[in-house]
Amino acid sequence: MSSSSLPEHTTSAYSEEPILLQDRAMENLRFIRATMERATSYTMVSGTGQILVGLTALVAAWAAAAQASVETWIFVWLAEAVVSLVISSFMMMKKAKSAKLPLLTETGRKFLLSFTPPMMAGAMLTAVLYQHQLMPLIPGIWLLLYGTGVIASGTYSARIVPVMGFCFMLLGVLAMTGPQVWGNALMAAGFGGLHIAFGVLIARKYGG
């Protein structure tokens, strides 16, 4: 029997088969892509941890604004940096334990190594700026370098992390170019507001 004499419904089935195969292939590709992204992205960043860091940063901003000297202002923010490090580390360990995954995978080590150099540069520049009485530049430097570290480490993390780093850098530019009195408020907006906002997004999309 020739193909021209085939029933209409049979011909239709043959024509639909390539479409079904194509849809299945696309679905498989999406699954493979998602699996590879999970394997190569460091998702132990805790959204809840970022929210807590943001809240403590807002408290630090309030306390820093009440200081009478630049030295005590710097001390308040350095103390906040230590507190935020402790909170972030604890919450990341908690998230890793809950997910039954190692905290420092190969990707995790790359994440940490990418984040560390800008933080070290920030510490050294803070000492230099203080020595030369250029303290008004400190908020901008901190925001810019923190944003740089977040973008660099975000290369190995969820896609939303580099976006947060870019927002920090924008605030850093404002701090460097705007009035000196904006410094503490921009620190609050960055280390407080951005951490809370992106922490909520990370917690919703990636858990923890």
* pLDDT tens-digit readout, 117-146: 999 999 999 999 999 999 999 999 999 999
pLDDT mean over 188-199: 96
Indicate the pLDDT class of residue 6, thresholds 50, 70 and 90. Answer: very low
Task: State the residue range of the domain holding 72.
Answer: 41-206
Q: What is the dihedral of CA 34, 37, 38, 40, to 10 degrees?
A: 160
- Look at residue 42 in the predicted model and tell me its pLDDT: 58
Cα gap 146→122, rounded to integer Å: 8
Strands, DSSP E only, in the chain? none
User: If pLDDT is split at 50, 70 and 90, which confidence band does 153 have?
Assistant: confident
Residues 59, 53, 167, 71, CA torsion sign: positive
For residue 208, pLDDT beyond 80: no
With respect to residue 2, please indicate whether it lies within any of the assigned structural domains: no
Reported as half-sphere exposure (CB side, CA atoms, 13 A), residue 10 has a value of: 6
pLDDT higher at 149 or 25: 149
49 domain-assigned: yes
Query: pTM for the full model?
Result: 0.77
**pLDDT (tens digit, 9 = 90+) per residue, 11-63?**
554 455 556 666 666 776 665 555 544 444 556 678 899 999 999 999 999 99
Greater pLDDT, 19 or 182: 182
Q: Amino acid identity of 62?
A: W
Q: Is 119 part of a structural domain of the chain?
A: yes
In a domain, 32, yes or no: no
Number of domains in the chain: 1
Is pLDDT at 176 greater than 50 in this prediction? yes
**130-149 in b/e burial notation, b at 16+ Cβ within 10 A?**
eeeeebebbbbbbbbbbbbb
In this prediction, residue 54 carries a pLDDT of: 97
In this model, does residue 72 exceed pLDDT 70?
Answer: yes
Q: Over pLDDT 70: what percentage of the chain?
A: 78
